[in-house]
Chains A and B, each alone.
Chain A
Amino acid sequence: MNAENVRQVLAVQRLEFRKRFLGKRAIPVYLLTLIPLALFGGRAVAVLLFKIHDFSLAQDRVIYAAIYRTLILRFVLYFGCVAIFVPLFRGDILDRSLHYYFLAPVKRSTLTLAKYFSGLAASLILFNAVTLATWMFLYLAGGANVLFDQLGSFHGLSELAGYLLVTSLACVGYGAVFLAAGVLLKNPIVPALAILGWEAINALLPPVLKKVSVIHYLESLLPVSIPPSSGIQILADPASPWVAIPGILALAAVLVTIAVKRVRRLEVLYGVE
């Protein structure tokens, strides 16, 4: 890749960043990210100011783990990635502006990768910020000293790093899934819901089928385990990090390769899209 190619990739990313952060399609993503922020922020304020709940480090940590798993990972991150990655190509087709990219002297493979990485950067920034903020709100509810203790301890930092790692890998995996869905399918919403259903029943699936999902590997990496008494479906057969991390990266690589191959043959046919 020469300097000209680098400038081209950066030009794609500038245009995409503007769309991802400033375009009208960014609104649903911001609304999604507000849900956990409002929940944990509101809780921190309620505990600190109105003392409506006694802070318990061990208990609240488990509550956060449960909410991260159900709300942040399975809902906010999932639909956030739908909203960021599906429109990378599908949005340009609907806006009838994809041809401006295709009329540039950029290889379709380079264009696809540049778009994927711009979506990835946007999602990493947004969702890691949400993860970081909600985690800090969790401990802030116990007081600033509790938060600083966590930030100053290996245990606390490794827990935070674990959540950030899961968030980042979710962006990589779901991003690749929805990039491919956006270029392969005219209406990716139905498959998005189908995949969500598949991910939701993952814990009920036989071990072989469990491994054919993103959530299985992500939940295997969560830093805090949830006791069976919580009523939340517990991962019975977690994958080791040595399997989970390369597994998600490999899945993403395969899906991005499929997307590249499709984009190479993609035609501008706005009238029939």
Chain B
Amino acid sequence: MIVFDNISKFYGEVLGVNRITLSIGPGITSLVGPNGSGKTTLMNLVTGLLLPTRGRLSVLGIAPDRPELLMKKVGYCTQYDSFPPGLTGYEFVQATLALHGLTAADARTKAGQAIAKVGLQEAAGRRVAGYSKGMRQRIRLAQAIAHDPEVVVLDEPLNGLDPMARAETIALFQALAKEGRYVLLSSHILHEVDLLSDRVVLVHHGYVVAEGDIPGVRDEIHERPAQVLLRCDRPSLVASRIFELDSAVEIKIHEDGKGLLVHTRDAEKFYLLVNRLVLEHGLDLEAVSPADEDVQAVYRYLIEGEGPSS
């Protein structure tokens, strides 16, 4: 586990993160939050690039101030878009593997494998200085995974990637997670976080405001009524019966008369009502789905402070 125990980090008098207590298990965990919220600080703390001002942190039982142990198990793809000068992509990955103490032959093999995983074989022999932003991102990713780390930390790893590379990279993260590795990433692209993540950690102004799987986090936001989208043949019948429930807040029937959006404080009761309507009135149901059980809605509610969307 990656364990943050009451971790605080201050840059002089400026707050980085404050009193973070968090446990992260295997699978894909996404750190979500606006710029300056503390995501990169958390990642730099995990990898020992920063030292906590207070609290204790351990990664698979190793303290981050022991790089000789920690970095054998951790790979980090940072946002820093810089490289040791004069190296080709291949030499860069090989050099970082050599820093891990691999023999020249092993470093060559593993560098080739990692570059193949990120689909950069053709450009590997060219100088990194001549790479596009997306290629630089991918070679950093190759450097992060080349030594087969158990924990992969990725700061905005999809930045600068074209759609094809994005899809391949997401598939790579999912494959890493399937192998039981810890994938900790940050992203601004919320629909991709939704697609990717087993769980999310929402960070705002240096504090963790919510964590867990997305439906679980959504359920915890009691002050925001759940939104449920329902497509059926008789939305007006559903609407008339909904107000029998004291938990209903708002109903909007779609303009095409084939569905409605319900805001309710108790989604479970609403689902039971729909079941009853199907059985008793033969309601022809096309689709029932939560409309705000995604990371975008959770982000909106918890971080942007917006009300229910209309």
| Inter-chain contact A267/B49, CB cutoff 8 Å | yes
Residues A105 and B98 in contact in the complex (CB < 8 Å), given A96-B80, A272-B11: no
> Size band of the B side of the interface?
20 to 34
- Contact call A11/B68, Cβ cutoff below 8 A: no
Q: Are B86 and A23 in contact (CB under 8 A)?
A: yes
Closest-CB distance, A20 to chain B (whole angstroms): 12
B67 proximal to A (CB < 8 A): yes
B51: chain A residues within 8 A (beta carbon): 265, 267
Q: Is the CB of B68 within 8 A of A103?
A: no
Q: Give the residues from 101 to 155 in chain A that come closer than 8 angstroms, CB to CB, to chain B.
A: 101-108, 110
B103 close to A105 (CB less than 8 A): no
Residue B300 at the A interface, CB < 8 A?
no
Instruction: Flag if B49 contacts A103 (CB, 8 Å).
Output: yes
A5 at the interface (CB under 8 A from B): yes
Size bracket of the A interface: 35 or more
Contacts of A100 in B (CB 8 A): 83-84, 96, 99, 143
Among A7, A99, A102, A272, the residue within 8 A (CB) of B98 is A7
How many Å lie between the Cα of A107 and that of B66 in the bound state? 7
Residue of A nearest to B78 (CB): A99
Determine the residue in chain B with the shortest Cβ distance to A272.
B11
How far does the alpha carbon of A265 sit from the alpha carbon of B49 in the complex, in Å?
10
Interface centre among B68, B80, B98, B100 (most CB of A within 10 A): B68
Q: Mark A69-105, 1 if CB is under 8 A from B, else 0.
A: 0000000000000000000000000011101111111
A8-B107 Cα distance, complex, nearest whole Å: 12
List of B residues within 8 angstroms of A18 by Cβ: 84-86
Q: Which residue of A lies closest to B65 (CB)?
A: A264
Contact of B99 among A95, A96, A101, A268 (CB under 8 A): A101
Q: Is A19 an interface residue (CB 8 A)?
A: yes
Q: Which 5 A-B pairs have the closest CB atoms?
A: A4-B101, A11-B98, A104-B99, A96-B82, A105-B71
Interface residues of A (CB under 8 A from B): 4-5, 7-8, 10-12, 14-15, 18-19, 22-24, 95-97, 99-108, 110, 264-265, 267-270, 272
Q: Could you list some 20 contacts between A and B, CB below 8 A?
A: A5-B101, A8-B101, A18-B85, A19-B84, A23-B86, A95-B84, A96-B80, A96-B82, A99-B49, A99-B76, A102-B48, A103-B47, A103-B67, A103-B76, A103-B78, A103-B96, A106-B67, A108-B67, A265-B51, A269-B50
